[in-house]
Amino acid sequence: MKANKLYFLVILLLTALVTSSCIRLPGWGPIDGACSEGHLFGEWEPRLSDPCAEGAAQKRTCSACYFSEKRVVPKGHQYVDRVCMICSAIDLSEGLRFSLRGKQSYVVLSIGTCTDAAIGIPSEYNGLPVRSIGDRSFEKCEFLRRVGIPDTVTSIGYRAFFGCSNLTSVIIPNSVTEIGSDAFRACTNLSYITIPAEMTRIGDSAFSNCKSLKTVYYGGTAAQWEEIAYDKWGNPSVPEHATVYCYSETDPGDGGNYWRYVDGVPTVWPWP
């Protein structure tokens, strides 16, 4: 008898949950009237093993009613700065020179025989990870316009891109924690750059004389930016004429400078 009563109470509880507004068990789909003002979708789930293959799909789910929708990813990579915005694959360049660092990783030594205007740095070389973009590695490569940096790289060296006057944009992955002194100095056509929240040091004059740098997409908060906003001499890490936008996945609505990704592209939140 007690078991029957307990069973009856469980049925009543489930019935109440299902019929209440916007409370739904996963996979049950939407109910009439639930989320009438719009679903509360999360991010598109997760990156597939080969999301750029024909027919690959992604799913996102409403956190209120568990309604799911799918989208089919277009066939083929969509590269920005030699990095696919869908699957993060790097469009690799050939001819770059590397140097073994210790016995466990490589550093990009120089541009070598590569003549690509848009360079894609590989995540590994000879079976070992590429951990650093070395000092002066691309110095004064005036034909260089874009560069794709893999998420194995943790540092960008001294004068690595110094004088790359036609470099227009750089997306620095979250793995990079240090930018060396003069790394992007005199990149006079550099218009925007992304800097991850994981960054712990921006060297002296790293972006000095970047006359066209207007936008810095920073992956952390304003408080985190203050920790790296000035070099050891008290000079700004990025030019004062550049606007620094801090990352916010949702619209802060306070009129500040914020950005988020829209289909893999850095996009500024509009002011109210």
Domain boundaries, the chain: 2-72, 77-272
Given its phi and psi angles, is residue 254 left (phi above 0), alpha (psi -120 to 50 degrees) or beta? alpha
Average pLDDT estimate for 76-100: 74
pLDDT digits (tens, 9 = 90+) for 204-246: 999 999 999 999 999 999 999 999 999 888 999 999 999 999 9
Given this model, what pLDDT does residue 81 score? 58
Given this model, what pLDDT does residue 20 score? 44
Other Cβ atoms less than 10 A from the Cβ of 46: the count is 9
Range in 44-53, 114-123, 217-226 the model is least confident about: 44-53
Give CA–CA dist 184/118, Å, rounded: 16
Give CA–CA dist 133/96, Å, rounded: 11
Given this model, what pLDDT does residue 37 score? 67
CATH number for the region 77-272 comes to 3.80.10.10
pLDDT at 9 over 70: no
Cβ(108)–Cβ(137) under 8 Å?
yes
Give CA–CA dist 60/163, Å, rounded: 43
Give CA–CA dist 229/77, Å, rounded: 35
Average pLDDT estimate for 189-218: 96
Task: Choose between 41 and 125: higher pLDDT.
Answer: 125
User: Per-residue DSSP letters for 76-89?
Assistant: S--EETTEETTT--
State the chain's mean pLDDT as an integer. 82
